[in-house]
Amino acid sequence: MRLTHSQARALKGMLGILLFIAVWQGSVPLIGLDAYYYPGPIDVWHAAFELVEKGILPVYLSDSAGRYAAGVCIGVASGISFGLLIGLNRTASRMLGPSINFLFSIVEAAWIPIFVIWWGYGYTTILISLSYVIFFPVLYNTLLGVRSVPQVYIHAAQALGANRWQVLSNVILPSALPSIITGFRVGAGFAFRGLVFAEIISAKTGIGFMIFEGTTYHQTARTVVGMIVMGLAWLFINNFYLKPLERATVERWGLITTAETRE
């Protein structure tokens, strides 16, 4: 059977991953360190099996997923609202623009200490810092989308008697949507890293907590399990939710957003 080009590439990629695991396992006796310092793939496999069997991993995973989903929803909703406000209103743009630029330059990690002072270690702190992370990429891309709507379309809709609301919902939103989705994807990626950090600092469950807890209890293999689960989770989210969403919106709504206007 002949393989197509992309199949051959995927196969080579798989081979690369297998090779990596083989080299990793082979290096364990060569390096000769205790599993605390350098766990091998077999240790990690055992740890993963144990974590699933004891039911720890599923619980942590669903806790993390719940926090992530909630944070992303709040961040996206507020990002789109502010993006529309600033994109559609010149006064709002001149008033809020510089302040938002400044806030954007403060990384989310810097806020966590004061969130902890205000809301303590726990859910609220994680939720707010996640929403903060995703807020900015969504806002900037919504802005970009709104500003790149060709004036002609707005005039056309107005000439046909559309009121402000109809212009917004029938012209501006659909044409800004592909750009908004791009912001959503970028922000979701940043928020995913933010989640791990927030959980390390201020949670007692979750994947980020597991990554950190593993080493404090001399179970480094659990830390590695956490890292791998994190990577797999992101690939899953990216390939099964974000990419299809982006493709679907560009196909469905992207008609009016030509290449030039998206630049």
Q: Does 117 bind another protein (CB under 8 A)?
A: yes
Token representation of residue 160? 């046909």
Token representation of residue 215? 């080493």
Cα first-last separation, the chain? 43
Contact range with another protein by CB under 8 A, out of 42-50, 72-80, 89-97, 172-180: 89-97
Q: Crossing angle for the helix pair 220-237 and 173-202, nearest 10 degrees?
A: 170
- Residue 188 C-alpha from the chain's centroid: 2
Q: Does 114 bind another protein (CB under 8 A)?
A: yes
Q: Does 135 bind another protein (CB under 8 A)?
A: no
Q: Which of 1, 32, 91, 152 binds another protein (CB under 8 A)?
A: 91
Q: Does 30 bind another protein (CB under 8 A)?
A: no
Q: Three-state SS string across 97-164, please? A: HHHHHHHHCCCHHHHHHHHHHHHCCCHHHHHHHHHHHHHHHHHHHHHHHHHCCCHHHHHHHHHCCCCH
Distance between CA 87 and CA 180 in Å, rounded? 12
Contact between 208 and 197 under an 8 Å Cβ cutoff? The reply is yes
Contact range with another protein by CB under 8 A, out of 55-63, 70-78, 109-117, 154-162: 109-117
Token representation of residue 231? 């990577």
Distance between CA 50 and CA 261 in Å, rounded? 53
- Give whichever of 167 and 221 is closer to another protein, judged by the CB atom: 221
The 68-87 contact track toward another protein, x by CB under 8 A, reads --------------------
Q: Which of 57, 139, 173, 201 binds another protein (CB under 8 A)?
A: 201
Q: Which of 156, 235, 255, 256 binds another protein (CB under 8 A)?
A: 235
Q: Does 51 bind another protein (CB under 8 A)?
A: no
Q: Does 107 bind another protein (CB under 8 A)?
A: yes
Token representation of residue 195? 């989640």
- Give whichever of 184 and 212 is closer to another protein, judged by the CB atom: 212
149: DSSP letter: S
Q: Which of 22, 52, 77, 103 binds another protein (CB under 8 A)?
A: 103
Shortest distance (Å) from residue 255 CB to another protein: 26
Evaluate the CA torsion angle 139, 141, 144, 145 in order and state its sign. Answer: negative
Token representation of residue 22? 């083989």
Shortest distance (Å) from residue 34 CB to another protein: 10
Q: Does 171 bind another protein (CB under 8 A)?
A: no
Count of C-beta atoms within a 10 Å radius of residue 129: 25
Interface residue list for another protein (CB under 8 A): 8-10, 12-17, 19-20, 36-37, 91, 94-99, 101-103, 105-114, 116-118, 192-193, 196-197, 200-201, 208, 211-212, 214-216, 220, 223-224, 226-228, 230-232, 234-235, 238
